[in-house]
Amino acid sequence: MSFFSEKRSPKGIFTAINSLNKFPQQLLAKLCQDVVDALQYKGSVPQVSHYQSELEKNSIDLGKNEVQSTINVLFFLYRDANRVSNLDQKQFLEILQKQTGITNQAGKVLATIWEREKENLPSLSMPNVGKLIDFKWKVGVTFSSSISENLVTPFITVNISVSNTDELVQTHSFEMSVPEFKEFARNLKEINQLLEVI
């Protein structure tokens, strides 16, 4: 699903660019730089409130969601451009102008930063990361076996379905003993806590 190579636009891009067009040039340049820095893990994700107040100082009134969408669209554009090999400044600007309603001025700002930073952006390597489609489980107690007579112990069996980037769904099944399950549970709870906080 690519913008710069396949010219496919994500939903909401026009509205986001519309808001972006309202930014004063210098502030837009700062925002682009912040996004690019964040992509290089050099800085944290730009704060909506900060940019909202900067816009207000310039008598530009944009709501929280609108400002958020400008940040999102910049992340999207720079990340996507990074995926295309040898995308130069001219092409970057051309595609941007053809595919969105970006103004000349705003487009030039984005393209200039692209030209300057494109070598520094980390290469994207996310092979084979699928999406979790389904999670099934059962708990059983083994009360006898050929290996061990008395080891009465619960086992947790999990069946997960993952769809990969080609929309193919693969199902994997695995078993856990109680201590293994506890470790699994601990990890998932940690992830949950983190995602809640961010």
Q: Which parts of this chain interact with another protein (CB under 8 A)?
A: 1, 10-13, 15-16, 39, 45, 68-69, 71-73, 75-76, 79-80, 126, 128-132, 135, 137, 139, 141-142, 145, 147-156, 158, 160, 162, 172-181, 183-185, 187-189, 191-192, 194-196, 198
- Consecutive H or E run containing 170: strand 169-177
CB of residue 116 to another protein, shortest distance in Å: 19
CB of residue 148 to another protein, shortest distance in Å: 4
Cβ-contact 45, 38 below 8 angstroms = yes
CB of residue 195 to another protein, shortest distance in Å: 5
Question: What contacts 80, CB < 8 A, 6 or more positions away?
Answer: 2, 3, 4
Q: Which is nearer to another protein, 45 or 53 (CB)?
A: 45
CB of residue 93 to another protein, shortest distance in Å: 20
Q: Which is nearer to another protein, 88 or 180 (CB)?
A: 180
Q: Which is nearer to another protein, 10 or 58 (CB)?
A: 10
CB of residue 23 to another protein, shortest distance in Å: 16
Distances 177 to 36, 61, 169, 174, 180 between C-alpha atoms, Å: 45, 57, 26, 10, 5
Distance, in Å, from the CA atom of 102 to the CA atom of 17, rounded to the nearest integer, reads 6
Distance, in Å, from the CA atom of 129 to the CA atom of 197, rounded to the nearest integer, reads 23
Vertex 111: Cα angle to 110 and 112 (nearest 5): 95
Q: Which is nearer to another protein, 120 or 187 (CB)?
A: 187
